[in-house]
Amino acid sequence: MRSRGLGGFAAGSFVAVAVLWSFATTDVDFSRIMSAGPRIADFLGRMIPPDPTVMDEIIKGSAETLRIAILGTLGAVVLSVPFGVLASDTMAPPALYQPVRTLLAFIRAIPLILVAMLLVGAVGLGPLPGMIAIAFHATGMLAKFYAEAIDGVSRAPISALESAGAGSLARLRYAIWPQMAPVVVRDTIFRFELNLRESLILGIVGAGGIGFYIQTYVRSFQYEKAASVSLAVIALVIAIEAFNVALRRRFA
């Protein structure tokens, strides 16, 4: 009990020091927040009405974002199948699945935007670094989900098919896959939705997609155009959500 009390005190002191240090060394001027109201109103006011002349850019940018998300997700699926198998404790020995799981956790911990920036440096501007970044980043989560889908399969129907004399491929198709399929489809759709949302910002670091136009218009004070593109982004997210709901219902 005593040591726990000491530990609690140490943790409390640490948090207090961290907060004080942040206040003391950062320029936190609260009066700026107070005077921000009119400026935000002015900003929003200039966004209305949205500028319809950027329709071409919206369509081009949305299409590119969609392509980045689709191909990025495809890449993530291709990578996640083998890594999912290697990270599953029913398919791989501990000596294999433990390091693979650690690797996946490490990949998940790297922010997408950082991966995208590094890739823009490596392969140049455009949608290609965006796709690779999405594929890499999403694999950290999707491979983990696939491994869980494999490990969640009930053994009994597999034993039943084994008892009937079915070979391993037939067991995979008729006992393992039917149990896994809804989970795999659901997780893949979920990840696609995340990929689409996350790929909207990739343009900010030059990795392609609609985010590029928001960035450009805000930087050049063309707020009406920025507003139109932002509205298109919101509409896109809602459309994807509706599409996913329909898909999930189909595969429930």
Partner 1 sequence: MSAVAQIDDVSFAHPGSELRALQRLSFRVAAGETVAVLGPSGAGKTTLLTLLDGRLHGWRGLVSVLDAPLDPDQPQPRARRADTGFIFQEFALVERSTVLRNVINGRLGRMPPLRAFLGNSSPRDLKIARDALIDCGIADLAERRVDSLSGGQRQRVAIARCLAQEPLLILADEPVSNLDPARAAEILALLTGAARSRNATVLFSSHQPELACRFAERVVGMRDGRIVFDAPAANLTNDTTAELYRETAPFSRPSLRAVG
From the centroid of its chain, how far is CA 234? 17
- The answer to the question of residue 173 lying near partner 1 (CB under 8 A) is yes
Spatial contact of 153 and 176, defined as CB atoms under 8 Å apart? yes
Among residues 60, 103, 113, 179, which is the contact residue for partner 1, using CB under 8 A?
Answer: 179
CB of residue 249 to partner 1, shortest distance in Å: 16
CB of residue 185 to partner 1, shortest distance in Å: 12
Distances (CA, A) of 47 to 39, 228, 248: 13, 8, 36
- The answer to the question of residue 90 lying near partner 1 (CB under 8 A) is no
Burial class (CB in 10 A: 0-12, 13-18, 19+), 218: middle
Q: How far apart are CA 201 and CA 86, in angstroms?
A: 32
Spatial contact of 136 and 115, defined as CB atoms under 8 Å apart? yes
CB of residue 172 to partner 1, shortest distance in Å: 8
11-19, 36-44, 71-79, 179-187 -> range binding partner 1 (CB under 8 A): 179-187
Distances (CA, A) of 65 to 115, 117, 148, 239: 17, 17, 29, 14
CB of residue 148 to partner 1, shortest distance in Å: 17
Helices within the chain (DSSP H only) = 2-25, 30-34, 36-47, 55-86, 94-109, 112-123, 127-151, 155-163, 168-171, 177-199, 211-219, 223-250
Give whichever of 19 and 181 is closer to partner 1, judged by the CB atom: 181
Give whichever of 20 and 181 is closer to partner 1, judged by the CB atom: 181
Spatial contact of 130 and 208, defined as CB atoms under 8 Å apart? yes
Q: Which of residues 142-171 bind partner 1 (CB under 8 A)?
A: 156-157, 159-167, 169-170
Give whichever of 133 and 175 is closer to partner 1, judged by the CB atom: 175
CB of residue 123 to partner 1, shortest distance in Å: 40
Among residues 68, 85, 115, 175, which is the contact residue for partner 1, using CB under 8 A?
Answer: 175
Size of the site for partner 1 (CB under 8 A): 20
CB of residue 7 to partner 1, shortest distance in Å: 38
CB of residue 243 to partner 1, shortest distance in Å: 23
- The answer to the question of residue 184 lying near partner 1 (CB under 8 A) is no
SS3 state of residue 153: coil
Asked whether the CA dihedral 121, 124, 127, 133 is positive or negative, the reply is negative
Give whichever of 10 and 164 is closer to partner 1, judged by the CB atom: 164
Give whichever of 137 and 171 is closer to partner 1, judged by the CB atom: 171
Binding positions for partner 1, rule: CB under 8 A:
156-157, 159-167, 169-170, 173-175, 178-179, 181-182
